[in-house]
Amino acid sequence: MLLELHVKNLALIEKADVEFGEGLNILTGETGAGKSIIIGSVTMALGGKASKDSIRQGADWAYIELVFSVPEEEQKKALRELEVEPTEDGLVIISRKIMPSRSISRINDETVTTARLRQITGLLLDIHGQHEHQSLLYKSKHLEILDAYVKAKTQSMKLNIAREYQIYRSLTERLAGFDMDSEARIREADFLRFEIQEIEEAGLREGEEEELTASYRRFAHAQRIAECLGNAHEALEGDWLYHALKAVEQVVEYDAALGSIRDQLYDADSVINDASREIASYLDSMEFDEETFRRTEERLDTIHNLQAKYGKTVADIRKNLENKRTRLEELEDYDAHREAVKKEFAECRNRLEGFCAQLSEIRRAASRKLTGRIKEGLEDLNFLDVEFDMEFERLDHFTASGYDEVQFLISTNPGQPMRPLKDVASGGELSRIMLAIKTVLADSDEIPTLIFDEIDTGISGRTAQKVSEKLSYIGRSHQVICITHLPQIAAMADAHFEIAKSAKDGRTTTTIRLLDREESVNELARLLGGAKITEAVVKNAGEMKELADKTKLCVKCK
């Protein structure tokens, strides 16, 4: 879970330190107070876009730090597979420093790329905002949701399909390579023989390029080396150290402490003499052979030419050579190899077809349970008379995930036909549909922290109450962080934070702090009453908080 968020010099925030708790963490504040900055800071820390304009005015940089607790061994194992080792306390610390020209991301003080950061943080946190519930408009998201729901039953099957699919693609490419006339085969075979001969005659060996490059550098800079070493030798041959040693020896009998200075000078004299002899020996052995230099240069040109054509390393070139030999063998015994690949392709296709059919059958059975549970969740979220289903179509090709294409269908009014979500649902409805889906997936979702932004778009009243209960339910098994402007949702908070904006010395600053129960009730009163907060509004807020506490007890009992 996300334990702490630290922000410095980001937009309106000069400094903010937040300690999140378990369960449902609610953030509220007046419009324009900077609620979006908090979620934005988390998004930036996890690799989201961060421009220099996000740096607080007058500051040179902005800094965001997220501290995660990782107690579960399975999660630790998954992180280790991505080469991330939690601290002894089971912590993973993600930070990002944003500067005008660049930004630096670190995980436990190790600098990481944005791509790797997103891969790692996908195990720790899931941000659900406007972008994600808009993803429900795309069929690919629907299959992703179904597979997440049924992954315990399909994980090994999908691995089999992914493996067979790679073989299938490789065989497809090999078969395409047999679709040529005899003249084209002869041309390709002749060219392969030429390339094979070129690589074989080169006789490359590991480490040769490095050795030749070092020799080339010495040859190319021989004059400069000789000149500089000559100057060094001349400098070391001076008698300055001899005079220093003699001077100290003349007075060492008067103070024993001077003995250590004399010994150091003796040691220095010995080291300098050794260095001087080595320089002289190097200079004596130096020789510049024009022919050797030319051969070195030509050999390097040969190696670089082969690297440009066949691979960056000797290992790559050798692998390429083996592939060319295999292809030449296929062309020389064309008909036999073509029939063998056809047979292998047919066997692979049959295996892949079987695996995909099994996966599709499991998915279809699971989809009925999934859509039934989502429908129940939608009814709880005030979708009256809703119908919800999933439609399957078979693709005309295989993929690494099988051959299924699926999409959710919905009808929100009696008598209306079932239609795709993208043709029916509004933005606010998509938000509630995604919440219903997240609720269904909560028991199987391994990501410990979920952040909901804009979950209350376009809702109020009884629907808002139902949304709050769903969030509380998810909070039983996950840490949930949610920004809201609705009192019904805020009242369900296990930890309630206020985001406020203030002006000091002509500068605007956003702060965030944890509210105690009384302060939380007062904040609920503000959400209920707007600008004027009366005693009746405060009393109403208190009753709402007490009702939320009772509701949470009921949610825990479900």
CA distances in angstroms from 481 to 229, 284, 355, listed in the order given:
67, 75, 40
Q: How far apart are CA 466 and CA 472, in angstroms?
A: 10
Residue 449 near residue 423 (C-beta atoms within 8 A): no
Summarised one tens digit per residue, pLDDT across range 458-512 is: 777 888 888 898 899 888 889 999 988 899 999 999 999 999 888 877 788 888 9
Q: 52 is written with which tokens?
A: 């220099």
Residue 558 has pLDDT above 60, yes or no: no
pLDDT at 541: 92
Q: How far apart are CA 297 and CA 300, in angstroms?
A: 5
Q: What is the mean pLDDT of residues 509-529?
A: 91
Q: What is the mean pLDDT of residues 357-375?
A: 95
Residue 393 has pLDDT above 80, yes or no: yes
β-sheet with 125-128: strand ranges across: 125-128, 449-452, 479-483, 24-28, 495-504, 507-514
pLDDT at 5: 94
pLDDT at 401: 93
Per-position DSSP letters for 452-464, written without gaps between them: ESSTTTT--HHHH
Q: How far apart are CA 136 and CA 430, in angstroms?
A: 7
pLDDT at 197: 92
Summarised one tens digit per residue, pLDDT across range 140-149 is: 889 988 998 9
pLDDT at 429: 77
| Range from 65-74, 288-297, 469-478 carrying the lowest mean pLDDT | 288-297
Q: Which residues contact 211 (CB under 8 A, 6 or more apart)?
A: none
Alpha helices in 203-333 (DSSP H): 208-220, 222-236, 240-249, 258-285, 290-310, 314-332
Residue 134 has pLDDT above 80, yes or no: no
**With pLDDT > 90 as the criterion, what percentage of the chain qualifies?**
34
- Which amino acid is present at 376? E
The reply to whether the predicted model has a pTM over 0.75 is no
pLDDT at 322: 92
pLDDT at 177: 79
Residue 169 has pLDDT above 80, yes or no: yes
Residue 545, Cα to own-chain centre: how many angstroms?
A: 39
The region that residue 461 occupies, defined by phi over 0 for left and psi between -120 and 50 for alpha, beta otherwise, is: left
CA distances in angstroms from 169 to 163, 283, 339, 345, listed in the order given:
10, 61, 17, 9
Residue 162 has pLDDT above 60, yes or no: yes
* Beta-sheet strands, E only, within 342-494: 387-399, 402-411, 419-420, 449-452, 479-483
Q: Which residues contact 214 (CB under 8 A, 6 or more apart)?
A: none
Residue 525 near residue 513 (C-beta atoms within 8 A): no
pLDDT at 329: 85
Summarised one tens digit per residue, pLDDT across range 8-51 is: 999 888 888 999 999 999 999 887 767 778 888 988 998 888 88
Residue 190 has pLDDT above 70, yes or no: yes
Mean per-residue pLDDT of the chain: 87
pLDDT at 33: 67
Summarised one tens digit per residue, pLDDT across range 200-219 is: 988 888 888 888 888 888 77
Q: How far apart are CA 295 and CA 292, in angstroms?
A: 5
pLDDT at 555: 63
Residue 270: pLDDT band by 50, 70, 90 thresholds?
Answer: confident
Nearest to 120 by CA among 157, 87, 80: 80
Summarised one tens digit per residue, pLDDT across range 77-123 is: 888 888 888 888 889 999 999 999 889 999 998 999 888 888 888 78
